[in-house]
Chains A and B, each alone.
Chain A
């Protein structure tokens, strides 16, 4: 979240789109009811289904799954055409005045530079600003230049007329305009809308661009950095934010630092590429300190073994030969028989990943599989024949499965990072049962055995393992407190203020914040973003002071929020260019008090930079402003464009009806094997989407009797009209099939799914909750991901669970 849970109460308008907060985040959703109760906020819900969230909405609009970019693009056009934008904000705080290179172009659904063979844009150099002789981007504050971002944006979305959008999305025109008009009202300075989204935006072959479109909408309305505004990702696990923060993705390092590619063998070039100089005069470009974060990370990992002479151990870092070894990629490799062993730590891929048949076949080709989990999972039992639900030939599977029971969160001390970016310390509530051990103990044990093997037997490249600094009190099981302190980091020598010479910290003391990090090896920090969470003042994550002096819900004494205990990102933008809040009454966040920045939140800014200095609020971008134009950072282009889901019920892209190459995202990642198993609308006529239910949490709560009582048996939701056509009644058993397999479940027939008129034809949706499987105390069911396609977003490679095609028959 750019903002945080309790800040939702500051909103004047709440848009839930690409998510179902009441269903999946019932506790957080209370802040929506707070906004409604105390702020008279309205709630808008846009979703293929009339959801539990929709049941409390002031206005609900149906939308065909996978078409949100069209909806948002149309809205962007509408706001620009009717001039309902936050002018001063857009002009000063965004890239609207920036002039783009001459060769940038967009035609027939493709931006310039596309290579059909590799399904990508290998050369994105034209997707950038025109620079002047000083290396600064050229701008035109009048916004009249034909190649300024404002004009390009206007041109790009000119095709997204209300009629076109309604035809793509199936949203009735009148209802769509009603939603758009409500949203347009928040273009007024000081009035805010918050966007709450979740995997309903993420899990599409154009998921990243959907989220970008939402962010662009918020920028147009001046709602980023504002209380009650922002683009708010509601995370699906209690600590999934922590997972990304700590870089548990194959191409990341902690704190959103990135691993080098194999063509980046030169250390200085690696850093220089990631530490951009300001693109406009007087801008901060905070990533220019990348080297400090990186060197401090390497010092945390390797201690004295890394020095300036060995480039801080740069050669020990893996260099990627692929953009990403994400799960789709890895299971494809497994399926191809290229993987011997696999560790599943708190992860249930056969249930959680698309195309169960392919994942199961991959697991069966492993030599060994290690499961680290507190519970029995479908993955740990993938080899077991369970009726029709897991119809495998056990005897033919030779994979050795090791099951290592782990503690669960309640059986250990530690911290969780929630959607609000709060690191909250928690304390052990009970002893683990049986032989369960903490994940740290298991990984620690594994590390020691590996190191002993390297020591005794040598190996191709022992250095990264042998040199790891492991000076914990109990090397077999480092304590959570030690690890947390390591993430924060410490001074390795006496640290002096470079300007005054004043002693800041003695060697060994905990750092106060990431501004103290150095790139000369004198500091260590396991994750620069977490620097400040455990200082000499103690464990900041354990703080529980919920006082809220400004009644803004910021509670700066509750736990600790990255970065720097800041609760709302980009909060400098909550004040106008002169430093005064846009709304001095109930949207005060930070302001210039004549000598410094201060306020109800920790300013996301150089606190002594006066408004006259013209430093802009988006300090992480070298241009200092927010981007409508993504430059070269997105796989499929600088502006979000609507592409159909890979399995589309209308078989063409209404924006480009004659260009089959751009029906679906031309830069999405599809593996060779999987192109053939996409289904088509003639065989699988219904648009399907998967989701979770409030009664369950993923595949875990099937083990809990009470959850099983509340929602005991697998079902699918069918619209009443569609069910009527098929002669299906509520309670009937139905078979839902895709081109990859089938499931059978009870039919819930509902008026909450309506037929939509899309591109001149009727489209029905089928809703498929995901929780069931073949372990636990709930009734056995089929894994929903038997049905879903193996295709990933072009940027994150997140699978398209939310839009695919099925057929439905009564059994």
Chain B
């Protein structure tokens, strides 16, 4: 695994490796060209080998109805009445925005569990994830989800594995209408300008690019018909910022917490010196799962390839 492209790691104070020169990339999602076909959802499942549960219809087109640890992107459908006679069906592909200033990475307490590449992609390294869920608190877009199977956090990787070898993300490859495009961030901004000019011509005076500066800009951007009303798109935040709680944790609370940890270690040390080590009666208990982790039996996991074979 090449690490020379990593420019930031969670909960780490040591210097990052010297970084190769990489162009910043971006995925541009043009909501004005999106037909909500969900090909991106399917491609995401296929490339990342994810198979969510067959769910239920809850009264809307959105399915699965929310992001999960196995659905890293979902289409969100919103109906917007513009006049008595006119309606817009605003369809937005939701998922990780790959913030320039990622709140998840800031909030993450586990060293190296969240990393940011020089090309702008923010990636989770589940090896290091402790399942605390702070990344969710830190995310202004409510994107990461904790898996009930392994208690790790998951989200869109912007297909970092594909991008690393010069391919576009899977969702981009399959989008039939060219609503999702991928390239350098500058190229994507230029492309957006061309799209916005077309929208202006068609009467969308407030069409614009969504690249929110509250998080330093994003590496997933939207073209919106109503850039002045991002909230119309199933609650897309108009001016997202990282929760102040993350600042508290990283600022004031962190030294205090570190002191508490140190005190615990010291207490343990003195306990050991004075009382001797704690003994566990039954060896097997050491293998018992943590109470906070839901029991997970790998044998229960349904292998989608086996599913496929049965129906071939």
Seen from chain A, the residues whose Cβ lies within 8 Å of a Cβ on chain B are 22-23, 26-27, 29-30, 33, 36-37, 40, 42, 50, 52-56, 58, 60, 172, 175, 375, 433, 694-695, 703-715, 729-732, 746-752, 777-779
**B79/A750 in contact, CB under 8 A:** yes
**B42/A27 in contact, CB under 8 A:** no
**A706/B51 in contact, CB under 8 A:** yes
20 contacts between A and B (CB under 8 A): A26-B35, A26-B176, A29-B176, A36-B198, A50-B87, A55-B35, A56-B33, A433-B312, A694-B37, A694-B38, A695-B38, A705-B54, A709-B63, A710-B38, A711-B63, A712-B54, A712-B55, A730-B58, A748-B60, A751-B87
Q: Which residues of A contact B304 (CB under 8 A)?
A: 705
Q: Do A56 and B42 contact each other (CB < 8 Å), given the known contacts A752-B89, A777-B54? A: no
Q: Shortest beta-carbon distance, B90 to chain A, in Å?
A: 8
**B88/A710 in contact, CB under 8 A:** no
**B59/A730 in contact, CB under 8 A:** yes
**CA A37 to CA B42, docked complex, whole Å:** 26
5 nearest A-B pairs in the assembled complex, by CB-CB distance: A730-B59, A731-B59, A22-B35, A55-B89, A713-B57
Residue from B37, B54, B57, B178 within 8 A of A52 (CB atoms): B37
Q: Which residues of B contact A747 (CB under 8 A)?
A: 59
**CA A173 to CA B295, docked complex, whole Å:** 63
**CB neighbors of A among B33-66 (8 A):** 33-39, 41-42, 45-46, 51-61, 63-64
Q: Which residues of A contact B64 (CB under 8 A)?
A: 709
Q: Which residues of B contact A749 (CB under 8 A)?
A: 59
**B35/A712 in contact, CB under 8 A:** no
Residue from B42, B56, B81, B308 within 8 A of A779 (CB atoms): B56
Smallest CB-CB separation from B90: which chain A residue?
A55
**CA A777 to CA B310, docked complex, whole Å:** 11
**CA A712 to CA B178, docked complex, whole Å:** 26
In this assembly, does B151 line the interface, its C-beta being within 8 Å of a C-beta of chain A? no
Q: Shortest beta-carbon distance, B53 to chain A, in Å?
A: 7
Q: Which residues of B contact A23 (CB under 8 A)?
A: 35, 37
Q: Do A709 and B51 contact each other (CB < 8 Å), given the known contacts A58-B202, A729-B59? A: yes
Q: Which residues of B contact A777 (CB under 8 A)?
A: 54, 307, 311
Q: Shortest beta-carbon distance, A775 to chain B, in Å?
A: 11
**CA A778 to CA B60, docked complex, whole Å:** 17
Q: Which residues of A contact B284 (CB under 8 A)?
A: none
Give the size of the chain B interface in residues (CB under 8 angstroms).
Answer: 47
**CA A777 to CA B55, docked complex, whole Å:** 11
Q: Which residues of A contact B309 (CB under 8 A)?
A: 433
Q: Shortest beta-carbon distance, B31 to chain A, in Å?
A: 10
Q: Shortest beta-carbon distance, B24 to chain A, in Å?
A: 25
Q: Do A29 and B177 contact each other (CB < 8 Å), given the known contacts A37-B198, A710-B63, A748-B60? A: yes
**A751/B45 in contact, CB under 8 A:** no
Q: Shortest beta-carbon distance, B156 to chain A, in Å?
A: 17
**A55/B88 in contact, CB under 8 A:** yes
Smallest CB-CB separation from B178: which chain A residue?
A33
In this assembly, does B91 line the interface, its C-beta being within 8 Å of a C-beta of chain A? yes
**CA A706 to CA B32, docked complex, whole Å:** 26
Q: Which residues of B contact A751 (CB under 8 A)?
A: 79, 81, 87
Q: Shortest beta-carbon distance, A348 to chain B, in Å?
A: 16
Residue from B33, B57, B308 within 8 A of A33 (CB atoms): B33
Q: Shortest beta-carbon distance, B212 to chain A, in Å?
A: 24
In this assembly, does B85 line the interface, its C-beta being within 8 Å of a C-beta of chain A? yes
Among B35, B61, B198, the most chain A Cβ lie within 10 Å of the Cβ of B35
Given contacts A713-B55, A747-B59, 16 further A-B contacts (CB under 8 A): A23-B35, A33-B33, A33-B177, A50-B89, A52-B35, A52-B37, A52-B91, A55-B36, A172-B85, A433-B312, A694-B35, A708-B54, A712-B55, A712-B56, A746-B57, A750-B79
Smallest CB-CB separation from A750: which chain B residue?
B79
Q: Which residues of B contact A30 (CB under 8 A)?
A: 176-178
**A713/B56 in contact, CB under 8 A:** yes
Main secondary structure of the interface of B (DSSP, over half): loop
In this assembly, does B279 line the interface, its C-beta being within 8 Å of a C-beta of chain A? no
**CA A53 to CA B177, docked complex, whole Å:** 12
Smallest CB-CB separation from B74: which chain A residue?
A710
**CB neighbors of A among B270-312 (8 A):** 304, 307-309, 311-312
**CA A707 to CA B46, docked complex, whole Å:** 11
**CA A694 to CA B34, docked complex, whole Å:** 13
Q: Do A26 and B39 contact each other (CB < 8 Å), given the known contacts A706-B46, A713-B56? A: yes
**B91/A55 in contact, CB under 8 A:** yes
Q: Shortest beta-carbon distance, A754 to chain B, in Å?
A: 8
Smallest CB-CB separation from B56: which chain A residue?
A713
Smallest CB-CB separation from B55: which chain A residue?
A712
Among B64, B85, B304, the most chain A Cβ lie within 10 Å of the Cβ of B85
**CA A30 to CA B177, docked complex, whole Å:** 4
Q: Do A706 and B42 contact each other (CB < 8 Å), given the known contacts A713-B56, A731-B58, A752-B87? A: yes
**CA A582 to CA B33, docked complex, whole Å:** 32
Among B33, B61, B63, B64, the most chain A Cβ lie within 10 Å of the Cβ of B61
**CB neighbors of A among B67-113 (8 A):** 71, 79, 81, 85, 87-91
**CA A779 to CA B92, docked complex, whole Å:** 26
Q: Shortest beta-carbon distance, B103 to chain A, in Å?
A: 29
**A709/B85 in contact, CB under 8 A:** no
**B85/A175 in contact, CB under 8 A:** yes
Smallest CB-CB separation from B71: which chain A residue?
A709
Q: Which residues of B contact A22 (CB under 8 A)?
A: 35, 37, 177
Q: Which residues of A contact B177 (CB under 8 A)?
A: 22, 26, 29-30, 33, 56
Q: Which residues of B contact A694 (CB under 8 A)?
A: 35-38
Among A705, A730, A751, the most chain B Cβ lie within 10 Å of the Cβ of A705
Among A37, A50, A55, A751, the most chain B Cβ lie within 10 Å of the Cβ of A55
**A705/B38 in contact, CB under 8 A:** no
**CB neighbors of A among B102-156 (8 A):** none
Q: Shortest beta-carbon distance, B195 to chain A, in Å?
A: 8
Q: Which residues of B contact A29 (CB under 8 A)?
A: 35, 176-177
Q: Which residues of A contact B54 (CB under 8 A)?
A: 705, 708-709, 712, 777-779
Q: Shortest beta-carbon distance, B295 to chain A, in Å?
A: 24
Q: Which residues of A contact B55 (CB under 8 A)?
A: 709, 712-713
Q: Shortest beta-carbon distance, A753 to chain B, in Å?
A: 10
**CA A694 to CA B36, docked complex, whole Å:** 9
**CA A333 to CA B308, docked complex, whole Å:** 39
Smallest CB-CB separation from B70: which chain A residue?
A709
Q: Which residues of A contact B312 (CB under 8 A)?
A: 433
**CA A686 to CA B235, docked complex, whole Å:** 34
Q: Shortest beta-carbon distance, B179 to chain A, in Å?
A: 8
Q: Which residues of B contact A732 (CB under 8 A)?
A: 59
